[in-house]
Structure 1
Amino acid sequence: MSNTETTPKTSKRTERRRWNGTDLGLIAVFAALVAAAALVPGLALNGFGVPITFQTLAVMLTGLVLGPARGLAAVGLYTLLGLAGLPIFSQGRSGLGILAGPSAGYIIAFPIAAGVVGWLATLVIRRTTKARALWFFLSATATSVVIVHTLGILGIAMNSKATLEQAFVSDLVFYPGDIIKNVLAVAIAVALHRAFPDVLVRRVRRRGLPAESA
């Protein structure tokens, strides 16, 4: 008896976790958003040819809005399409050759960062209704420093003749812009969560089940 009763409940929970057409549409839209942000003209100011773009804003916004799984999927889709040959990386670049350049670490970091900041955003949404903008900003900034900048520095050092110290110094130029972009990403994400409160966490009301992440 117990086995036959638990199986339907388990299957229903599994069905709620599956992506539907809306989820797939959001993944496609945010992948396009990241691509558009990458194609905005930027300046290569760090000394190794890595341009300053609005990409990190789009990546953080994607994670903050879609959560870990869909955020990772959206930015991962963008990355795979770029590596497959679509000219959607910064400055219209594409192909596997970019993994041998100074931007490789940043490119690899973007999907990971979207997943991590999405996970942190889910914790914030679930656990507090106060100061969400501040917590979102701290989540985005921490993710940017630990994931994006760390892998970016390693990529510069590995794919150029720079030392880790030189790569670290060259990466510092991105910090002021990242702070501004994180503020903008948080402002947009908070507005979207207010307008669409179920976009990240779907509140399951039936049978008293706990909320499940989308």
Structure 2
Amino acid sequence: MNTSSRQIATVSLFAALIAVFGLIPKIDLPLGVPITLQTLGVMLAGALLRPRLAFLSVALLLAAVALGMPLLSGGRGGPAVFFAPSAGYLIGWPLGAWVTALVMQALPTATPRRAAVSAFCAAVVGGLLMVHACGVLGLMLIAQLPAAKALLGTLLFVPGDLIKAVVTAGVVHTVARGLPDWQLGRREH
């Protein structure tokens, strides 16, 4: 399989993985933003792929959602989801995957243990901080919440997202041990 075919398959696979995480029932919060497992897929894409592919995998999922496919947790899809209070988080997903991958490139991944620690740090920076920064902006713009309330509201998600970062680290540790040739975000030589 040539490189471009492999990249298309990889992007599609990670988009599908994030969609599958959407099958896990969401937990609705009064804030208008549900707790879902899909941010784990965003973190995994960033931790396991190079920045461009990580971004593209999440962007592909969101393009399918925008076209009406019910791939978000709870069977949501269509353009309306990009005008809901959770829109900032959705916009933050591809950026979060990209930032996670950039951080993975900058951190050591020579051993499975180092790769796991790097994946945790990268997932926190990209999958938590970046996604939540976009989410807070979305809450302020779309839900018209004051900055303090939007920030306080997003703190509800932090414990779960820290657990997702730990799971990401565990998956990366397993991949680094089982597939030592996997690039883990490193640039191609």
TM-score by length of 2: 0.90
Partner of 1:41: 25
Contact 1:65/1:193, CA 8 A, preserved across alignment: no
Contact 2:96/2:127, CA 8 A, preserved across alignment: yes
Kindly tell me: are residues 36 and 181 of structure 1, through their superposed partners in 2, closer, same or farther at Cα, counting changes over 3 Å? same
Partner of 1:173: 156
Contact 2:55/2:95, CA 8 A, preserved across alignment: yes
From the CA coordinates, give the structure whose radius of gyration is larger. 1
Displaced runs of 4+ in structure 1, greater than 3 A? Answer: none
TM-score by length of 1: 0.80
What's the CA shift for 1:199?
A: 2.6
Partner of 1:89: 72
CA distance in 2, matches of 1:78, 1:133: 26
Residues 1:69 and 2:52 aligned together:
yes
Residues 1:187 and 2:170 aligned together:
yes
Matches within 5 A, 1:148-167: 148-167=131-150
Q: One-letter code of the match for 1:196? A: L
2:95 to 112, 117, 128: 112
Which sections of structure 1, spanning at least 5 residues, go unmatched?
1-17, 203-210
Matches within 5 A, 1:122-133: 122-125=105-108, 128-129=110-111, 131-133=114-116
2:130 to 147, 155, 160: 147
What's the CA shift for 1:201?
A: 5.9
Which sections of structure 2, spanning at least 5 residues, go unmatched?
none
* RMSD across aligned positions (CA): 2.1
Contact 1:63/1:117, CA 8 A, preserved across alignment: yes
Deviation track 1:124-173 (CA, whole Å, cap 9, x = no partner) reads: 256x5463322221111122343101110111111113211111111111
Deviation track 1:67-98 (CA, whole Å, cap 9, x = no partner) reads: 21111111110011101111112221111211
